[in-house]
Amino acid sequence: MPYLTIAQNFNHEQTIKKSRFICSLARVTDETAAQNFIKNISNQEHKANHHCFAYQLGPHDEIQRESDDGEPSGTAGVPILQSLRLLQVHDVVAVVTRYFGGIKLGAGGLIRAYSNTTSDAIHAAGLIAIIKQTTLQLTIAYADHDSLNYFLQQNTIKIADEQYGVNVTISIFVDQDQIDTTKAKIINLLQNRVTISLGDTHFNEVPYPIK
């Protein structure tokens, strides 16, 4: 499973039985950043009744925290954290702010409200996978540029750089376990009219579809 996190910081709001639920998401790297984000949201929405939150940090989610912030025990913080776990996002803090609308939701209703608001926010924010990739430098003739470019687009291969001189040199990012396969496909496509060299290795952010 790739290392997933949210594609962007994001706010998502919905109204459930006259109560406003606002989920604020942020990528964070440590507990200090997570706590500062929670504090900032609480200050911005200081008239709200509750600021329930959860976050998980680290490659293996070594740090996990949650809070019901005055809601009945287990009806807010745990559902928020469970949403982060189910979507397998790392280094993320979620704060769900509630403005009480006068209608009690009951324990089951609260659990669904906090869980769904968080899940909907993550879906709206989108996910990225942080993947270890290697740069391949491809030197080709101008006549082969369009064919190669079409191949890269069709295979969702990101172009890192293009240099134009006597020939064209295109640098692409390739997953490490796809290097040999990608090289073979390009060589076959261009019938050996390409020079390929390995470049540096990077951790890159790649869009990841939510199933």
Domain ranges of the chain: 3-125, 132-203
* Cα–Cα nearest to 185, from 141, 133, 136: 136
Considering the entire predicted model, what is its pTM? 0.82
* CATH node for 132-203: 3.30.70.240
The continuous run of DSSP H or E covering 94 comes out as strand 92-99
Q: Give the homologous superfamily in CATH for domain 3-125.
A: Impact, N-terminal domain (3.30.230.30)
Same fold: 3-125 with 132-203: no
At 3 the pLDDT is 92
> What would the pLDDT profile of 56-104 be if each residue is shown by its tens digit?
999 899 999 999 999 999 999 999 999 999 999 999 999 999 999 999 9
Contact between 55 and 139 under an 8 Å Cβ cutoff? The reply is: no
Tokens at 96, concatenated = 């769900």
Report the percentage of the chain scoring pLDDT > 70.
100
Tokens at 120, concatenated = 């909907």
At 202 the pLDDT is 87
Residues 78 and 73: their CA atoms lie apart, in Å, by: 9
